[in-house]
Amino acid sequence: MPSPALDALDASGIAYRVIRHGPVRSLAEAANARGVEPADVVKTMVVRRGDGDYVFVLVPGDRAISWPKLRALLGVSRLSMPDAAVAREVTGYERGTITPLGSSTAWPVISDERVLGREITLGAGEHGVAVAVRAEDVLDMLNATVADVTEPGEAQLSGWHAVTGLTPGTEGGGLDPALARTRAEPADPVTGGIDVDAITAWRDADAEPAC
């Protein structure tokens, strides 16, 4: 089966390794399945900064986008996140598999600076498939802008659901969209609102990041 993400990596010539595994239900499980620290389970977020204009944001697994920092970096007063249908239209990837690698449109990539100096894992465009790669190599390949664009996540993490590049578990049905929206940039009326499976969402007193 063709893999645009792996094809893009092959064309770049950088070293990487493919990781394949089944469903996970927590950040700890995701990190264990990939053989890395939780911070190195890097999430790819699609953010709308204008009409027909998007960016990819790479976020360490134990952190969340800081909207004030990201707005300041991009020089805009408002950002939003597309729903699942729009995200697929603009990236070529369905929810839970989105990655800047091999995207149908090469949107600009912004990475949080905390990934530097590490081997990170990124989704590879399929459920249950990720790639491990040296951060500097893949950021150079993607011509990424590196900056401080995140803030600490919650201290307690449980029920990690739909990590990019991982097969979703069975616990995604309990997400509370209202609570999720309090943690995210306001929904955009043009794109149809926030995709709660593509942001840091919260099901109960413990955090349940989703991407």
Residue 156's pLDDT is what?
A: 34
Per the model's pLDDT, the better-predicted residue between 170 and 103 turns out to be 103
Residue 148's pLDDT is what?
A: 98
Question: Tens digits of per-residue pLDDT, 19-73?
Answer: 998 777 777 888 999 999 999 999 999 999 999 999 999 999 999 999 999 999 9
pLDDT over 90 at 183, yes or no: no
> pTM for the full model?
0.76
Q: Which of 111, 119, 114 has the alpha carbon at shortest distance from 142?
A: 111
Domains of the chain: 4-209 (3.90.960.10)
- In whole angstroms, give the CA distance from residue 122 to residue 14: 14
Residue 154's pLDDT is what?
A: 53
Residue 192, token pair as written in the block: 């149809």
Mean pLDDT of the chain: 78
pLDDT over 50 at 139, yes or no: yes
pLDDT over 60 at 210, yes or no: no
